Amino acid sequence: MLNIRRIYILALAALTMAACRLHAEEKFFRCELGIDGGCGYYVGDATPHIFQNVREAYGAGFRYMFDRRWSLRLKGMTQRIAGYKPDGTGFAAKEAGEWQNRLVNFDLVAEFNFLPYGSVWYDSRIKPVTPYIATGIGLSLYSQWQKATAYMPFIVGMKWRCSPHCTIHLAWEHDVYFADNLEGIDAYGNTYSLNGTNLMNMDVTGQLVAGVAIAFLQDKKVCRTCK
């Protein structure tokens, strides 16, 4: 009976040490640095629908994770917007030719993961894949850096932590500007004198992008079981 007790105690001690080691090996990285690329569109006086006159969009970002659900992301992105020139009455006409303008956007957004996010395989509560949403505030420079306006980004996406150091994501961003002159054409600037009274009259852009990020700045390993 004494030998059985000793074996039981030794087995229990071994399991406890193994669990402690697993918790101590948990890897949680506070920071991510990544790039994004995809397509972008513009919605305004010259283009009434999303995903029309699609052009390239690309950029880079830095993410700081407070925990497995909340993070802040600072990013920069540039995209080319395009549409048809006005026909002389304020309306876009294909026959009038095409205009183009480039935007350079910088924004800070707060991100929320719907699931606790990470690459820890032994804890079923932590998921390597999660949907997320984000919003914040940004500054846009356009018309060859001659004009600037603020905007509000709204983002929905999906993240996949494919390894402890690497995240892949797919995101759709919708940016609402506090301006109605992204086209750089006077005829499209506040066409119906509604700015200031109707937010729906402001210009909008969007991007559908995929990105990859590298994680770094690992938290100090803590053995929670052995406290």
pLDDT in tens, 40-93: 999 987 888 888 889 999 999 999 999 999 999 999 999 999 888 777 666 666
pLDDT tens digits, residue range 101-132?
Answer: 999 999 999 999 999 888 766 567 788 899 99
Q: What pLDDT is stored for residue 135 in this prediction? A: 97
More confident residue, 139 or 29: 139
pLDDT tens digits, residue range 2-34?
Answer: 555 555 555 545 444 544 444 434 578 899 999
Measured over the CA atoms of residue 112, residue 113, residue 115 and residue 121, the dihedral's sign is negative
Q: Which CATH number fits domain 28-218: 1.10.3720.10, 3.40.718.10, 2.40.30.110, 2.40.160.20?
A: 2.40.160.20
Return the minimum-mean-pLDDT range out of 117-126, 170-179, 190-199: 190-199
Q: What pLDDT is stored for residue 93 in this prediction? A: 63
pLDDT-based confidence at residue 166 (cuts at 50, 70, 90): very high
Indicate the domain borders of the chain.
28-218
Q: Is 178 helix (H, G, I), strand (E, B) or coil?
A: coil
Query: What does the pLDDT average to over 142-158?
Result: 95
Rounded CA-CA distance 164/157 in Å is 20
In total, the chain counts a number of residues equal to 227
> Is residue 188 scored above 60 in pLDDT?
yes
Q: What pLDDT is stored for residue 193 in this prediction? A: 55
- Highest average pLDDT, of 84-98, 168-182, 186-200, comes from 168-182
pLDDT-based confidence at residue 181 (cuts at 50, 70, 90): confident
More confident residue, 192 or 202: 202
Rounded CA-CA distance 1/181 in Å is 86
Return the minimum-mean-pLDDT range out of 145-149, 174-178, 193-197: 193-197
Q: What pLDDT is stored for residue 199 in this prediction? A: 59
Q: Whose CA is closest to 150, among 158, 142, 138, 141?
A: 138
Rounded CA-CA distance 169/158 in Å is 6
More confident residue, 195 or 35: 35
Q: Whose CA is closest to 92, among 55, 52, 146?
A: 52
H/E stretch holding 151: strand 147-163
Q: What pLDDT is stored for residue 125 in this prediction? A: 77
Q: What pLDDT is stored for residue 21 in this prediction? A: 45
Query: What does the pLDDT average to over 161-189?
Result: 88
